[in-house]
Amino acid sequence: MQRRNFFKTAAIGGGSLALTPLSSCIQSNTSTSTTTDYSDFELNELSIAGLQKKMSSGALTSEEITRKYLSRIEGIDKKGPKLHAVIEVNPDALAIARQMDVERKSGKIRGPLHGIPVLIKDNIDTGDKMQTTAGSNALIGSPAPDDAVIAGKLRNAGAVLLGKTNLSEWANFRSTRSSSGWSGRGGQVRNAYCTDRSPCGSSSGTGVAVSANLCALGIGTETDGSIVCPSGINGIVGIKPTVGLWSRDGIIPISHSQDTAGPMARTVTDAAILLGLLAEKDSGNGKIVDDYTKFLDTGGLKNARIGIASDFFGFHSEVEKLMKDAIQTLKNNGAVIIENLKFDNRTEWGNLELQVLISEFKTDLNAYLKTRTGLKVQTLTDLIEFNKKNADTELQWFGQETFEDTEKTNGLNDPVYLKALARVKELTREKGIDLLMDQHQLDALVAPTNGPAWTIDPVNGDHFGGGSSEPAAIAGYPAITVPSGFVHGLPVGISFFGRAWSEPTLIKLAYAYEQVSKHRKAPWFMKTIG
């Protein structure tokens, strides 16, 4: 999760890669450039289609592609700039790739992901040799007994599960003063554009890995900001689906009312491919479609009515300039822009959202832990005690006050929780996104996804500048972020969000904007700025 506003204001009553501790992850030099050209990589910026072309032509096999990504991880993530984005590589990755090559030779192609290496966040179960830990040493032990539904769908689609990505420990839900991208197990993830800057969280490892071309594409998870912020701040595309479009089975939870996994990719096309392949098409929801790529339309902005969510502007002058240019691009390509739209009662969101999340986290986490055997902890109570006993590794930089506040909650039948849940959904749905879209006949709302990445600061924690994840996250509605430019070499994204199940419309708009703006640039691995 990104550093939420409610953490600033709310008072609550009552065996892998990148295992270096945070202190060794923080740059002390002042050089602004690297001496190595990390863009000199055969697969740099290749899309799913580009990789498939290489495999179908015989230029490369899936095994060869997988080896190249594994070498890239070794050279850049473990050595080189030490991005610490990958917490563990899959010891079976090459075997999976070889099997996909055998199938290809026999004429069996499972689909667009056949033989494509994918990295997934380390809070998603895989029933294999890899750990699933949410970045915590407390969950190192027996691997998960089964694949999460989305992990199983990846395998069935022919993807090569390349490994697990590092993350903000417990998806940034342990402390009000955490450093995004840090975990006790994996160390501090670094932004690939400037390695002393934050990658944002909690899907920081996935964002950096996709951006730095350590994989073809990746999967993150979001409760509030954890897909869109690390996507925006790392210069890639991220889709936070409507809650329920992807299965949440087998994912270490925070909140069943807000949690969702989603695609993170370098292009809208690749993100749309992954979105459709992992969608719950048998859910009985007729609004979930088989193939979201059919909504990719270069003319998708023509006559689209787009509202400017002005509540989320004004936090950085250079971001304002980028957004002004982006809005002009939307206009130039036929969009009708409705300016200065505001959400009523926004000030209520923070406290209400936090009450909902801490109430759901305790129940949801305890239920998840019952599915795991051979671990050091079986309840939130156990986890709190584990961290106290292992404070030198787990609590060296910040505490666990969010865990402790969560432990004091009274379950899902508590009237305080039920009242907060009903009210916060009303404010973000019927009196929020839906209201604005109905009043102004909108296709989508837009706002800046993020500000420029802040410097990593383990002593004080994140100093998050601004963003727009809250309304869609709390409502459980979809959002897509697309690169919109740079501030002093640091990426900034623009978010398109709207009503429930509006992914087709959002993909159409985001793709059209992407195609006319072309802001995606591969990272340059600066050591510092200034």
Average pLDDT, the chain: 93
Binned at pLDDT 50, 70 and 90, residue 21 comes out as very low
91-137: per-residue pLDDT in tens?
999 999 999 999 999 999 999 999 999 999 999 999 999 999 999 99
DSSP 4-38: -HHHHH-------S----GGGGS------S-SS-T
User: Burial level of 55, CB count in 10 A (0-12/13-18/19+)?
Assistant: buried
| Residue 252, in any domain of the structure | yes
The DSSP letter of residue 78 is I
Tokens 């409502």 label which residue? 475
CA distance 469 to 231: 12
| Residue 279, in any domain of the structure | yes
| Residue 2, in any domain of the structure | no
321-352: per-residue pLDDT in tens?
999 999 999 999 999 999 999 999 898 998 89
Please give the angle made by the CA atoms of 283, 258 and 219, to the nearest 5 degrees.
75
> Distances from the Cα of 274 to the Cαs of 220, 266, 446, in angstroms?
12, 12, 23
For the stretch 378-384, contacts whose Cβ atoms lie closer than 8 Å and that sit 24 or more positions apart, written own/partner, are 380/406, 380/407, 381/407, 382/138, 383/136, 383/138
Average pLDDT value for residue range 34-44: 86
The DSSP letter of residue 291 is -
Binned at pLDDT 50, 70 and 90, residue 282 comes out as confident
Locate the DSSP E strands across 266-335: 305-309
Q: Is the pLDDT of residue 4 over 70?
A: no
CA distance 54 to 45: 14
Bond before 203 cis per omega within 30 degrees: no
Binned at pLDDT 50, 70 and 90, residue 281 comes out as confident
Binned at pLDDT 50, 70 and 90, residue 22 comes out as very low
Binned at pLDDT 50, 70 and 90, residue 24 comes out as very low
The CATH number that applies at residue 277 is: 3.90.1300.10
- Are 251 and 225 within 8 A, CB to CB? no
The DSSP letter of residue 455 is B
Q: Is the pLDDT of residue 14 over 80?
A: no
| Residue 210, in any domain of the structure | yes
CA distance 273 to 457: 36
| Residue 9, in any domain of the structure | no
CA distance 514 to 520: 8
Q: Within 10 Å of residue 269's Cβ, how many Cβ atoms? A: 21
Q: Within 10 Å of residue 410's Cβ, how many Cβ atoms? A: 12
Q: Is the pLDDT of residue 29 over 60?
A: no
Instruction: Give residue 17's pLDDT.
Output: 31
CA distance 203 to 186: 13
CA distance 412 to 472: 23
> Distances from the Cα of 324 to the Cαs of 314, 319, 345, 448, 494, in angstroms?
11, 9, 26, 10, 11
Minimum mean pLDDT among 32-36, 231-235, 236-240, 451-455: which range?
32-36
| Residue 23, in any domain of the structure | no
- Are 462 and 454 within 8 A, CB to CB? yes
170-212: per-residue pLDDT in tens?
999 999 999 999 999 999 999 999 999 999 999 999 999 999 9
Average pLDDT value for residue range 452-468: 96
CA distance 499 to 478: 7
SS3 165: strand
Average pLDDT value for residue range 125-152: 98
CA distance 117 to 97: 8
Average pLDDT value for residue range 46-66: 98
Residues assigned a catalytic role: 121, 202, 226
369-391: per-residue pLDDT in tens?
999 999 999 999 999 999 999 99
Average pLDDT value for residue range 259-263: 98
Number of domains in the chain: 1
| Residue 449, in any domain of the structure | yes
Q: Is the pLDDT of residue 7 over 50?
A: no
Q: What are phi and psi of 326, to 5 degrees?
A: -65, -45
DSSP 419-440: HHHHHHHHHHIIIIIHHHHHHH
Binned at pLDDT 50, 70 and 90, residue 19 comes out as very low
Identify the domain containing residue 310 by its residue range.
32-173+180-517
**Which residues are CB-contacts of 40 (< 8 A; sequence separation ≥ 6)?**
none
Q: Of all residues in the chain, what percent carry a pLDDT higher than 70?
A: 93
One-letter amino acid identity for 311? Answer: D
Question: What is the separation, in whole angstroms, between the first and last Cα of the chain?
Answer: 29
| Residue 524, in any domain of the structure | no
CA distance 228 to 233: 8
